[in-house]
């Protein structure tokens, strides 16, 4: 799987249009770096845990009759 950052250009545009305060911009940049770090380290939720559960839920949905 490959992860891609999207909407960076939109964020830059909106900084100008909506006059984001510096702390909002800095916070968003820090959160992006934290998220990228988690992806690189394959930390939860990017460790495959949720993928396994989604597969299990799909299977259960198709095999368990509704009440």
Query: Which comes out higher in pLDDT, residue 65 or 42?
Result: 42
pLDDT at 67: 58
Over residues 32-48, mean pLDDT? 88
Neighbour tally for 39: CB within 10 Å: 15
CA 58, 61, 63, 67: dihedral to nearest 10 degrees?
170
Q: What is the pLDDT of residue 2?
A: 78
For the segment 53-66, the average pLDDT, to the nearest whole number, is: 72
pTM equals 0.66
Q: How far is CA 29 from the centre of its chain?
A: 14
Give burial (CB, 10 Å; 0-12/13-18/19+) of 42.
exposed
Cα–Cα distance measured from residue 32 to residue 26, given in angstroms and rounded to the nearest whole number: 10
> Given the structure tokens 């999207």, which residue do they identify?
6
Give me the pLDDT at residue 48, please: 80
């Amino acid at each position: 799987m490959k992860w891609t950052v999207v909407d960076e250009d939109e964020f830059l545009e909106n900084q100008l249009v909506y006059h984001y305060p510096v702390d909002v911009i800095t916070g968003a940049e820090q959160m992006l770096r934290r998220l990228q770090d988690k992806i690189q380290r394959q930390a939860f939720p990017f460790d495959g845990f949720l993928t396994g559960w989604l597969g299990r839920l799909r299977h259960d949905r198709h095999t368990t009759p509704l009440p």
